Amino acid sequence: MKILILMAIRNLWRHARRTLLTVASIAFGLAVILWLQCILAGRNKSMIDRVTSTRTGHLQVHRQDYLKDKAIQFTFTPAENLIERLPPGAAAAPRVYLPSLISSGEQSSSIMLVGIDPVAEQKVTDIANSTKGSSYLENDPSPDCTSRQILIGKSLATFLHADIGAKLVIMTQAADGTLGNDLFRVKGIYESGSPDMDKSVAYAPINCAAKVGALQGIHELAIHLPDPRALDAVRASLTNALPPPPAPPMSVSTWKEAMPSLASIISLNDSVLMMISV
């Protein structure tokens, strides 16, 4: 064995230029592979962080089939034991969703009005940090929603020619079959980094949105995890804590079910990473 090793070393240095060229080629190839792996892995993490920190959270609790049908009647009241199952450092925020028409008098646009708890939402998403140069929503405990405040995206504000303090009319199909409508005043303007979201999503205190839509309960409990790697374990724990019949059937979804197109992109990137590694 010793003789074979010595012969191999001698042969390598007999053609030193060829040996160095081969080593350099291998090193360059490995460097390119590692660089591509880092780029794709970083891109994946950036996309996941953006969608979970601005929209979905890591997990969501809904009435079963809500994500498929988006029926506004699919509301529920979250049980305390669900919150107790969350790991330390996790946070949860209730939401309601109302497909609506928003009008400034000059322009109108179709949007999704999202009713949120302003304080709880800050622990799940960073929408509050996106209100540069303007104010974030405040809690409105009044049953009649006396403040009627709304947070709109920069793209929507530009389209509606609306600024801070502007009055906007919200119209929506209420859960009881009537036409819900109310007058809101722009409290702040956010800029999420996604022009599509900024033009199509507006936020209001959850009781204000519920009043317009004649809603009882919430559509979604969004959950932020301190460690995204615990996603599957926490999902299983929450699923086991869902109320049994005769309560309406519930489900726990991840950001992948909430954003299937993004999940497909991540899966494709992971496949490319695997091919590169091989």
Query: pLDDT value at position 277?
Result: 65
Structure tokens at 51: 């969608």
Pair (36, 147) in one structural domain: no
Buried residues in 218-231 as b, exposed as e (16+ CB within 10 A): bbbbbbbbeebeeb
Q: Are residues 64 and 182 in the same domain?
A: yes
Distance from C-alpha of 213 to C-alpha of 223, rounded to nearest angstrom: 24
Cβ-count burial of 149 within 10 angstroms (0-12 exposed, 13-18 middle, 19+ buried)? buried
Helices assigned H by DSSP within the chain: 2-14, 16-51, 66-69, 80-84, 118-122, 154-160, 195-200, 206-213, 231-240, 255-258, 260-277
CA distances from 265 to 55, 261, 262 (A): 17, 6, 5
226 and 211 together in one domain:
yes
Residues sharing a CB contact under 8 Å with residue 214, sequence separation 6 or more, in sequence order? 174, 175, 176, 178, 180
Residue 183 sits in the same domain as residue 272: no
- The answer to whether residues 91 and 34 belong to one domain is no
* Judgement on whether residues 43 and 87 belong to the same structural domain of the protein: no
How many domains would you assign to the chain?
2
CA atoms within 13 A on the CB side of 125: 30
Reported pTM: 0.84
Are residues 118 and 46 both part of a single domain?
Answer: no
In a shared domain, residues 212 and 175: yes
Residue 151: CB atoms within 10 A of its CB come to: 26
Question: Are 143 and 250 found together in one domain?
Answer: yes
Residues 232 and 143 in one domain: yes
39-65: buried (b, 16+ CB within 10 Å) or exposed (e) per residue?
ebeeebeeebeebbbbbbbbbbbbbee
Using DSSP bridges, classify how beta strands 167-173 and 91-103 pair: parallel, antiparallel or unpaired: antiparallel
Q: Which domain holds residue 269?
A: 2-52+265-277
Q: What is the pLDDT of residues 20-48, one digit of tens each?
A: 888 888 888 888 888 887 888 888 888 88
Quick one: which of 216, 213, 214, 234 has its CA closest to 225? Answer: 234
What three-state secondary structure class fits 70? Answer: coil
From CA 251, how far away is CA 141, in angstroms rounded?
A: 29
Low-confidence ranges of the chain (pLDDT < 70): 1, 4, 6-9, 11-13, 15, 276-278
Does 158 lie in the same domain as 69? yes
Same domain for 77 and 107, yes or no, is: yes
